[in-house]
Chain A
Amino acid sequence: MLVATIGMMVKDQTDEWRVYQKQGFNLSAATKKRDIDALRTEGYLATAERLKIEASRVEEALSATEIKALAETQIQALDTATRKVELLSETLKSKGALRDEKRGNYNLKVANNLPFEDAMTEFHEAQGAVDAMQLEVEEAQKAQADVNDPAAEVNVDKKAELERLLALQATLKIITGKLDKLESEETLLEDAMLKEKPTSMVSRLKRWSMEQPILDGFNSHLKVHQDWLPDLMLQLGMTSIARFDRCRTCHMNADKTLPGNLQAYPHGNPESENIHDWVEANEFPHPFATHPNTELFVTAASPHPVSKFGCTICHDGQGSGTSFGNGEHTPNDPHQQHEWEEEYGYHANHFWEYPMLPERLQESGCIKCHHDVVELGQHPEFGASAPKVNRGFKLIQKYGCFGCHEIHGSDGGVAIGPDMRLEPQTEAEALRIAEDPNKRPGLYRKVGPSLRSIAAKTGADFIANWTQDPSRFRPSTKMPKFFGNSNQQSDLAKNYEAVELAGLAHLLTGLSEELDMLQPADGYQPDAERGKMYFAEKGCLSCHTHAAIPDAGDDMAPNISDIHRKVKRNADDADFSDWLYTWIREPTRYHKRTKMGELFYDVYTGDEAPTDIDPVADIVAFLLSQGPAETFETPEYKDEDLDSLTELFLRKGRFSKEAVEEVLETKTFPQKKQSIKGDEIALATEDGSAVADDATWKSMKLEYIGRKTVSRYGCYGCHDISGYENSRPIGAALQDWGRKDTSKLGLEHIRDFLHHHGEPAGSKFESTEARVEHAIEAAAGGGVATKSFASKEEEERELGAAYFYENLVHHGRPGFIWQKLRDPRSYDYLATETKGYDEYLRMPKFPLQEDEIEAIATFVLGLVADPPSEQYIYQPDERDRTRIEGEFLMAKYNCVGCHMLEMPEVTFGVDEYPSTDLTPADHPAALDLLLKLRHPKQGLTGEMRQFTIDEEEVTLPIAKVSGLQMAFPDPDEEDPAFRESIFDSFDVIDFGEGDDATRLLPSGKVIVTDDRMVSYKEGRGGRFAEWLVDHLVEEKTDGNRQLAWQASPPPLYQEGIKIQTPWLYDFLLEPQTIRHTTVLRMPKFNMSMEEARVLANYFAAVDGSDFPYHEQEATSQAYLDSQQLELTKEGVLAKDAGYLHEGWKSLNGTLCIKCHSVGGRKFKVSDPKNDVQGPDLNRVQRRLRSDWVKLWLYNPKWIVPYTSMPLNFPHNNGAQFPDLYNGDAGAQVEGTVDALLNYTRMMEEVGPTTYAPPVKKESPVIEGQTAVDPEADGQLQAATE
């Protein structure tokens, strides 16, 4: 037993974690030593030395005899006085107690209805004694204070000396204070270091002994560090227990940060084993490294402090383990696994259900609490915190996986990730859900186009050809491939495939409903060339791409370069397609749930042509002009295969072989049409009679096969097909797939398959297994470092494949899903031999890259019905919720395709800070308002960097600012100091802190030369706008980039401070023309009222404005009255003048009308092509927030640097309207703004008004400044001669 006990002790003492902790303490001491050394710089030592000398000088002065004697007397006197105060205070306390007792007596007597006069007298006496004592105490306190007060009476004779003494004492205090402060950090560090690594023998012995058996039970420094998480339950089999995470026992520096949230132990992979080398390189291996993202995790200031969240809620693994093995670490790839096996004796443990997530799948843990996912991809503070899982989420949205695989968002009431169900497909279903309080409708639309009226759009030949292999017609399509996959290579499958395709095309054209199509006006001659211009400029390219306009476009919507080949053209005009015209003009007419917006390509009378122009007809002409329509090859099928497939399906429909043969033989289905619910309806007749002719019978059989095909492959999961509105998704639901029982994964012969196959044609590997073997060998051979991988990307990709492959071989979920998405039918390998054709696997092959597959896997593996308690679930407040929902919609409708939400950001070395000088035209109040609406941002990052400028090395501070790039480096310029990128700032940017800061106001220029450039980061959104601006600069605005921006979709930068939420709601649902300068219009998107509400609120939510609504003060009578009163008092408003009325005059004066329609008057067009026409002003009152309008009038460039709107009311020029507000320009701005915001009221009360300022008396002629007269040249010549 003793031996066993000793054996246990030895084992316990050699636990892995102890080894790590000891090393960890050594490491910590070493870093402290480094920090102490760093503190002991020359400057530090010199300061300390200087302070010590100063202190000793003062001490010396204090020790001079006279002063010393005085000091001693003072100390004595102070002592006596203090004691007296203390004594008297004590007496006061006891007298107080006596007084309280008397009060008690009195109260008792009163309460008991006894005579109380005596008690009252006693109380007053006691109170008198207290008061007298109080006076004595105060006197003593004053005397105490007087001891050290040179001005006090007692000190008259020693005043000067005393002052000197006090001054010396004060100086000494300051110096020693400084010295202490200087030394304290060092002392603290030293103390801490000595604690961890003592130098004295005694301490070392003490520390050593605390590490010894038995003694270590008494609060040893070596101990298991436990994060106890009672509310974060852990599911173990059937029971759930509180979570204990002991990870920090070894990962002891995980939360160690330095000021500025820097990692105290940045992770690295140092080759050396010596901790001093790590310290020197400031690179630390696991488990000693700090968490890589302390901004988001672990630290107390982060949203996920380790004390509340622990580790395993995100990482999984066994939190209670205190060894590498027991922690259930998971390697990121087989190469790492081999390393771990050698170093730590690693082996996978099948008995722990939740091994740690490998690094590549780490983000799947995020969905447990972040059910919306959106915030993981875009967050104002943390940016994209989990980009991979967010990418997976977006890919699922793009490919519409939920069409077949329900992603419910919950399972038995337990929330699991996002709810991605399809929306109700019929009104009846929507109504049913609306009436059931326990049900919520799905919100996702089917991702494919509607096939309800497909016959209007294209022919049966195209349908069959396309479905057989969609990427053959359009390589970039997202439609997956249902045919010709790895389990369809047999002759039987090929024959049946041809029948299915024919049946499908036959059915879809047969079911196709009539479409009421639109047409251009009779006789309209479309112009393809003009159509191309509209196609480029009117917004099509914000979502689509087209080969005729390269370098533009977005993959939000299909590449339509080849649309001319497939679209059905008009019978009487092969150059036109009514379907295409209808589709572009009014997309919802063809496809009710399309996301394609209605772009308001209204017919108009242009200045280029005398007749009306129909842009849509022109666009149709352009698209069709790219080539002729085509007939598409379709796979030919044999009649016997049609019969045999019909037979196969009928047999499945529980008809006997004989019955089926009879049906086929007699062309008679044994039931009447109305009594059949299934697909067999296609074969039946109304009265159950035989079909007379072969052609009809064949058509019926084809329809039957078509129906079978649609329901077998679940086409309706993505497409709206007449008659399939209520069909259910055909795939396995994905909620809780992340915990799917691995024994239920249908692995079949996949290992064999990957041994022989698995790589696409043209791959240099003959099988996936060979590929993986190669990857592992290459990694073992040194990876990229030894060029056994060509690049880091290749290494990452190949080792990723190796990870999934190995995982699949070991029956893991990640491996299964990886191969399922790579080649879904491969699980049928050698299995089709024993299956009927109808039992073949049916999941189509999606055009996914392996990194996309990994992202999708990360998402799906995160769908687990294992939510932590409510408090851990991310629950955004109203503003954040709106932001998250808004972000989702921004992506859904591709708002970011056109609109830039965040400006590009440039980082550069700055020597001369860009600045803005205020001019006499600027209103002081305007600056205040600007700073209120746009809080200053700091331009300097605090970093310094070296640059080579003009062949000299210079160190410059680094600035980071965002703005719209308005000038680009000249490609012909060779001198980097002359290659300039110039940005217009939209922000107030300070360079430096406090009063010394240099300030750049919006519209200020930031010029960055190539030799100072560090990096450029694209803005968020607005790709189309940027393209369009470049295009217009070339084509329309004669090189003027500002005008080009005015013609393009505006950046929605701080839109929330600008627009009124209710107006935006209306606008989103029914967009109107706002700007006359733009070449395109805001489309009308097919969005719900709820979506419009969220999007309208979104901007107020993100921009920190009043949310979601705001008070429009300008319309309140109280405000208007106070303006009237105040301005009258100030003499700005004459007694009989009305505040709003003067504003109304100003608004209807000579300025606004120059560019705007206002007050019932229309803007006068001089040159339709070049005139700058501003928005009609009647909309302002509903559309804009008053602070914004005011700042806009004060100085428009401070809001939009590229605007053409001038500064109309310069501060130094109120005299242009001398009779309004007594020529006070500031009041003119306020009055005009308020008139704008009370527009309707003024129109009703005053009506249309024209105002012209009074004709001035002769202006004083200033010498030399008469108008320059072109005719004066001759005279000038004479004069100079």
Chain B
Amino acid sequence: MKSLSTIALMAMGLLFISGCGDSGLGGGASQETSVVVLPADLLTDGAADPVEVEPDSDDDGTAATGNGPGNFNGRVVLTGTAPAIGPIHTQGANIKDAEVCAAIDMPNEKLITGADNGVANVFIYMQKAPKGTPKPSPLDEAVIFDQKNCRFLPHCLVVPTGQLLKVLSDDTVGHNTHSYPSRNNAINQTVEPGDRVGKLQFAYKSSEREPLRVVCDFHSWMIAWHLPVDHPFAAITDADGNFEIKDLPPGDHTFTVWHEAAKGKFVNRKLKITVQPGQTTTQEIGYAASQLEL
């Protein structure tokens, strides 16, 4: 039970890291089972102080009339028929390091849909936060980026800049962790079998404009997506496609909706919403099946 409670503790912190309330592991929808949505605060680790953000007077679109931040939540829903995709390989397949990697059916996480065609693992984030938005401060504890059975856990991660990430492995075969950032220095280093200490640790110095891929070159199917951000307005949809972004300053905002299976990766490059003071803006984001590239 000890490990469970620590997971729970971790979860509290990681919620912020993930920028969304989903499984509690910042993992987007690495998990096919049902998930729990926990209250999350996006700016501080745990405490839910109201956020005071100076409305940007330069921004014409900002309505500066309100007296408190608002929220933005909703769902990303696939319209049309979602194509069925099977596992990447099945248990016992004749592949490299089969004893570990083919110990399970390897789920294809490129497109996961949940209840009512909600799409999991969609990133919803602002490219640039309104002026005056405070930078989220990193957690004291490192965020864990793990791998088991030749699969990254979590599959999707939102992480503030400067946050220490620790790469672990629960596999008896070696991996390498290879990131492809645009604005940060890339990592490409081997992770020894069963490294539970985390000899590979790193932090993203800069924010990225798009989620970046992290792969293991030894096992070409292994892929995860990280989005380093320097503001709190980013989320990943949970297994049913839900997301919530809290404490937005009132006014007009532009969000980027990004998903790995979308053609060109963007579901919507510029999703414009308006937040009223102290209110929640809810929007269902359509994701047409024709946009998919699987």
Contact partner, A1267, options B38, B127, B153, Cβ 8 Å: B153
Partner of B33, one of A1172, A1208, A1270: A1270
- A1204 and B33 contacting across the interface, CB-CB below 8 Å: no
The answer to whether A1261 and B196 touch across the interface, beta carbons within 8 angstroms, is yes
Task: Give the CA-CA distance A1207 to B186 in the complex, in Å.
Answer: 11
Residue pair B197, A1259 in contact (C-beta under 8 Å): yes
Please determine whether A1280 and B36 come into contact, CB atoms closer than 8 angstroms: yes
Rounded to whole angstroms, the CA-CA distance of A1279 and B200 in the bound complex is: 30
Chain B residues with CB under 8 Å of A1259's CB are: 194-197
Tell me if A1207 and B189 are in contact (CB < 8 A): yes
CB-based contact A1206/B185 at 8 Å: no
A919 engages B202 (CB within 8 Å): yes
In the complex, the answer to whether A966 meets B196 with C-beta atoms within 8 Å is no
Tell whether B199 is near chain A: CB-to-CB under 8 Å: yes
> Are the C-beta atoms of A1272 and B7 separated by less than 8 Å?
yes
Stretch from B171-179, B227-235, B277-285 at the A interface: B171-179
Nearest CB of B to A1034, in Å: 10
The 3 closest A-B pairs by CB, nearest first: A1267-B170, A1216-B192, A1206-B176
Query: At the interface, yes or no: A1042 with Cβ under 8 Å from chain B?
Result: yes
The answer to whether B33 and A1280 have CB atoms under 8 Å apart is no
Quick one: which of B3, B127, B180 contacts A1042, CB cutoff 8 A?
Answer: B180
Residue of B nearest to A1203 (CB): B188
Among A401-409, A599-607, A1150-1158, the stretch in contact with B: A1150-1158
Given the complex of chains A and B, what is the CA–CA distance between A1206 and B218 in angstroms?
Answer: 10
Given A1206-B188, A1206-B217, A1264-B6, 11 extra CB contacts under 8 A? A919-B202, A921-B199, A1003-B185, A1004-B185, A1150-B193, A1165-B96, A1210-B190, A1265-B197, A1270-B153, A1272-B4, A1276-B4
Instruction: Decide yes or no whether A1271 CB sits under 8 A from chain B.
Output: yes
Residue pair A1270, B31 in contact (C-beta under 8 Å): yes
**What would 23 A/B residue contacts be, using CB atoms closer than 8 Å?**
A921-B200, A978-B127, A1007-B206, A1040-B180, A1150-B193, A1154-B96, A1155-B217, A1206-B176, A1208-B176, A1215-B192, A1256-B193, A1260-B197, A1263-B2, A1265-B144, A1267-B196, A1272-B4, A1273-B24, A1273-B31, A1276-B7, A1277-B35, A1280-B11, A1280-B24, A1280-B38
Q: Which B residue's beta carbon lies closest to that of A1207?
A: B189
Give chain B's interface residues, CB within 8 Å of chain A. 2-11, 23-25, 27, 30-36, 38, 89, 95-96, 127-128, 141, 144, 146, 148, 153-154, 166, 168, 170, 173-174, 176, 178, 180, 182-186, 188-190, 192-200, 202, 206, 209, 213, 217-221, 264-265, 269-270
Complex contact B186–A1201 (CB within 8 A): yes
A contacts with B, residue count (CB < 8 A): 67
Q: CB distance B189 to A1268 under 8 Å?
A: no
Residues on B with beta carbons closer than 8 Å to the beta carbon of A1007 = 183, 206
Complex CA–CA separation, A1215 to B35 (angstroms): 38
Which of B3, B8, B89, B174 is close to A1150, meaning CB atoms less than 8 Å apart?
B174
Residue of B9, B183, B189, B221 ringed by the most chain A CB atoms within 10 A: B189
A1042 to B218, CA, bound (A): 16
- Say yes or no: is A923 at the interface (Cβ < 8 Å to chain B): no
Name which residue of chain B comes closest to A1042, CB basis.
B180
> Within the complex, which residue of B11, B27, B95, B153 is in contact with A1166, where a contact is CB–CB below 8 Å?
B95
Set of chain A residues within 8 Å of B34, measured between Cβ atoms = 1273-1274, 1277
B10 in contact with A1040 (CB, 8 Å): no
Count of A-B residue pairs with CB < 8 Å:
180
Query: Taking CB as reference atom, which chain B residue is nearest A966?
Result: B182
Per the bound structure, the CA–CA distance linking A1040 and B223 in Å amounts to 13
Cα A1171 to Cα B196 in complex, Å, equals 27
A1151 — which chain B residues lie within 8 A by C-beta?
174, 190
The answer to whether B188 touches A1204, judged by C-beta atoms less than 8 angstroms apart, is yes
A982 on interface, CB distance cutoff 8 Å: yes
Greatest chain B CB density within 10 A among A1003, A1004, A1167, A1266 is at A1266
Contact A1268 B153 (CB under 8 A): yes
Interface members, chain A 57-95 (any B CB < 8 Å): none
Q: Whole-angstrom distance from the CB of B31 to the nearest CB of chain A?
A: 5
Compute how far the CA of A478 lies from the CA of B182 in the bound complex, rounded to whole angstroms. 44
Q: Quick check: B189 and A1210 within 8 Å, CB to CB? A: yes
Decide: A1005 near B184, CB < 8 A? Known: A1155-B218, A1208-B190, A1274-B33.
yes
Interface of B: prevailing SS:
loop
Q: Which chain A residues numbered 728 to 758 have a C-beta less than 8 Å away from chain B?
A: none
Q: Which of these, A1196, A1263, A1273, contacts B6 with CB under 8 Å? A: A1263
CA distance A1275 to B209 in the complex (A): 35
**Interface residues in chain A, defined as those with a beta carbon under 8 Å from any beta carbon in chain B:** 916, 919-921, 966-967, 970, 972, 975, 978, 980, 982, 1003-1005, 1007, 1039-1040, 1042, 1150-1151, 1154-1155, 1164-1167, 1170-1172, 1196-1197, 1201, 1203-1208, 1210, 1212-1213, 1215-1216, 1256, 1259-1277, 1279-1281
Q: Is the CB of A1270 within 8 A of B190?
A: no
CA separation between A975 and B6, bound complex, in Å? 44
Residues from chain B with a CB closer than 8 A to the CB of A1003 are 185-186
Closest to A1153 in B: B96
Q: Are A1213 and B8 in contact (CB under 8 A)?
A: no
Contacts A1204-B188, A1206-B178 given; does A1164 touch B96 at CB 8 Å = yes
User: Inside 8 A of A1266's CB, which chain B residues have their CB?
Assistant: 3, 170, 196
- With A978-B127, A1005-B185 given, is the CB distance from A1171 to B170 under 8 Å? no
Interchain CA distance A1270-B30 in the complex, whole Å: 7
B36: chain A residues at CB < 8 Å are 1273, 1276-1277, 1280-1281
Given contacts A1004-B185, A1166-B95, A1206-B217, contact A1213 B192 (CB under 8 A): yes
A1218 to chain B, nearest CB (A): 10
Residue of A nearest to B24 (CB): A1276
Complex-state Cα separation, A970 to B266, whole angstroms = 13
Given A1039-B265, A1206-B176; A1171-B220 close (CB under 8 Å): yes
Q: Which partner residue on chain B sits nearest A1150 by CB separation?
A: B174
Cα distance, A740 to B11, chains bound together (Å)? 89
Bound CA–CA A1196/B173 (angstroms): 22
Which residues of B have CB within 8 Å of A1171? Answer: 220
Task: Please judge, given known A-B contacts A1039-B265, A1273-B34, whether A1204 and B190 are in contact too, CB under 8 Å.
Answer: no
In the bound complex, what is the Cα–Cα distance between A1256 and B127 (angstroms)?
A: 45
Asked if A1166 meets B31 with Cβ closer than 8 Å, knowing A1005-B185, A1267-B168, the reply is no
A1196:B188 contact, CB within 8 angstroms: yes
Most chain A C-beta atoms within 10 Å of own C-beta, residue among B27, B32, B176: B176
Known: A1007-B183, A1207-B188. A1270 touches B202 (CB 8 A): no
List of A residues within 8 angstroms of B8 by Cβ: 1276, 1279-1280
Distance of A1210 Cα from B167 Cα, bound (Å): 14
CB-nearest residue of chain A to B8:
A1279
How far apart are the CA atoms of A1164 and B182 in the complex, in Å?
31
Contact partner, A1210, options B30, B180, B200, Cβ 8 Å: B200
- What B residues does A1166 contact at CB under 8 A? 89, 95-96, 219-221
B101 to chain A, nearest CB (A): 8
CB distance from B277 to the nearest CB of A (A): 26
Rounded to whole angstroms, the CA-CA distance of A1265 and B213 in the bound complex is 23
B contact residues around A1273 at 8 Å (CB): 23-24, 31, 33-36
Kindly list chain A residues whose C-beta atoms are within 8 Å of the C-beta of B2.
Answer: 1263
In the bound complex, residues from chain B placing their C-beta under 8 Å from that of A972 are 269-270
Contacts of B180 in A (CB 8 A): 1040, 1042
Partner of B4, one of A1165, A1262, A1279: A1279
Q: Which residues of A contact B141 (CB under 8 A)?
A: 1264
Q: Give the most central of B96, B146, B264: most A CB within 10 Å.
A: B96
Give the shortest distance, in Å, between A1145 (CB) and chain B (any CB): 15
**Are A1268 and B154 neighbours in the complex by a CB distance under 8 Å?**
yes
Of the residues B186, B196, B219, contact of A1265 by C-beta under 8 Å: B196
Contacts of B209 in A (CB 8 A): 970, 978, 980
Residue of A nearest to B35 (CB): A1273
Separation in Å of the B246 CB from the closest CB of chain A?
19
Q: How many angstroms between the C-alpha atoms of A1042 and B217 in the bound complex?
A: 13
Please measure, in the bound complex, the distance between the C-alpha atom of A1256 and the C-alpha atom of B194, giving whole angstroms. Answer: 9
